[in-house]
Amino acid sequence: MYGGFVYILSAPSGAGKTTVGNLLLREVPYLEKVITVTTRSPREGEKHGVDYYFLSEDEFLKKIEKGEFLEWARVYRYYYGTPKSEVERILSQGKDALLIIDVQGAFQVKEKFPNAVSIFLLPPSLGELKKRLTLRGEREIEERLEWAKKEIPCAKHFDYVVVNNVLEKAVEEIKSIMLSNRRKAAFVFNNENYQSLHLGEDILQVIKGEDCHGNKKV
């Protein structure tokens, strides 16, 4: 049995999912990023094996044939995919796996991991989204905005929606979602994650050794 959660963080290009995701990884100790694969070239400062695995299109297509991806999609002429092995490795260690992926990939993962927690990060406005894309130096901004208009309605089908207006606030809201999952009784007791509650040994013994005498349907 795997001991962690799968989190899907998705958003239109320019909404800030990578920035938010990186802050979450710094501030949530049990969270680990699933490094995805892409055929696009690295942006300035990006490193192979840290931000993405950068592969040629031929290498990517061979991995599709071998069934190595949990999900994959073609976005803006480039391929993106999530290796199954990365997700399985993280979950087997009792950690939570964070997938920072596009909307197409999010739906594919949700089909294979129905219990995955999907979070859609919205920009506060299309005007602000255009501004961020411009500041980031993206090309084909109008094309990306048109694509964003098709992706944004998908937010209705996600488990949670967070607006990235103030960066710190967006991060705190997602951290709250993650903490609440780790406080679910089914997670704490079924996986024996008692340590996270910092309970005394006497309380733990009562929880483990006694039956509930109240109404069990709370």
Q: List, for residues 60-104, the tens digit of each pLDDT value.
A: 999 999 999 999 988 778 999 999 999 999 998 989 999 998 898
Q: What are the structural domains, with CATH classification, of the chain? A: 6-182 (3.40.50.300)
Q: What is the pLDDT of residues 141-185, one digit of tens each?
A: 888 899 899 999 999 999 999 999 999 999 999 999 999 998 887
Q: What is this structure's pTM?
A: 0.82
Q: Residue 89 corresponds to which tokens in the numbers above?
A: 């490795």
Residues 6+ apart with CB under 8 A from 188: 182, 194, 196, 197
For residue 1, pLDDT beyond 50? no
- Binding-site residues for ATP sit at 11-18
- pLDDT for 212 equals 75
φ, ψ of residue 38 in degrees (nearest 5): -145, 155
Helix (H) or strand (E) holding 168: helix 167-182
pLDDT tens per residue, range 106-142 = 998 999 889 899 999 999 999 999 998 888 877 788 8
**What is d(CA 50, CA 93) in angstroms, rounded to the nearest whole number?**
19
Radius of gyration, CA atoms only, the chain: 19
Binding-site annotation: residue ranges: 11-18
The pLDDT mean for the chain works out to 88
